[in-house]
Amino acid sequence: SSNRCPGVRHSTFESLRLGRSSQSIASDFLHFWDSQNFKKDMEFVGITVLFLDEKVNSVIHGFIPVGRANHYKPSLKADSIVKVDRFEVVMCSSMYKITDHPFLIRFISLSIIDEVITGAPEINLQSRLDCSKSPSDCEHKPRTPRCG
């Protein structure tokens, strides 16, 4: 865990480890969208999310499976600073890779997402602006509409 932010204990994306654990991240919740299976009549399969770490241009993507989508959707607010606890870290399949980070954060039944009002880490403002303008302005934004 990082101690640079005394108000919110969290891991940086670099320090995440594979598997289910008590890891936490505190990051800028950049963007989210519904993911669909293009091979099955655009069937809704879950929600894809992008998180921006306190490190410059460190973006990781997360996935909320369809079975948990309705539970977490009310907590999703673009451009908010959030803390996510209790999730699974898995290798990101190259077929679905939308960031340069090798891992994917998968929400599980124990996952908790909360907006951080005080004690939030400082997110690099320029990174936030570059990534929020348009996908072409941020190399870490989705390169294809395929995700999930």
Q: What is the mean pLDDT of residues 86-109?
A: 89
**pLDDT bracket for residue 145 (50, 70, 90):** very low
Place of tokens 């069937």: 43
Could you say which architecture CATH assigns to the domain 13-119? Beta Barrel (2.40)
Please indicate, yes or no, whether the overall pTM of this predicted structure exceeds 0.85: no
Give residue limits of the domains in the chain.
13-119
- Model confidence over 59-82: pLDDT tens digits? 899 999 999 999 999 989 888 888
Q: Report which of 3, 26, 30 is spatially closest to residue 13, judged by C-alpha positions.
A: 26
- Model confidence over 82-93: pLDDT tens digits? 899 999 999 988
What's the rounded Cα separation, in Å, for the pair 127 and 59?
A: 10
Q: How far is CA 114 from CA 64, 91, 107, 141, in A?
A: 15, 24, 13, 23
Average pLDDT over the chain, rounded to whole?
77
The phi and psi torsions of 140 (rounded to 5 degrees) equal: -95, -5
